Amino acid sequence: MPTPAQTQQDVVVEADDRGRVSLGRAGVQPNQRHVAHVAPDGTVILTPAAVVTSYEVRFLQNTGLVEQIEDNRAHPERLKRVDRKARRRG
């Protein structure tokens, strides 16, 4: 069943006494994060967002490493099995 967001239907929501609105009827999934932009005219735009750690940002900025990982994932036949128990003994 398509959600209201997928069918492009308008949904009326009303803020409670604390300024909160429920967005489930508008197609927002539970536990989904968004960046909210409020325009001068009061229009609110929600853009789906993901939290990325600073470690992940540094990794993603290393294009050579990202390309190497993508290439290795595209060619799993090149992977070598490592016996971790044997490595600990050595």
With 60 as the cut, is the pLDDT of residue 5 above it? no
Return the beta strands (E) in the chain as ranges.
34-38, 44-48
With 50 as the cut, is the pLDDT of residue 89 above it? yes
Model pLDDT for residues 25-37, shown as the tens digit of each residue: 888 888 899 999 9
| pTM summary value | 0.50
Domain segments of the chain: what residues?
4-48, 54-89
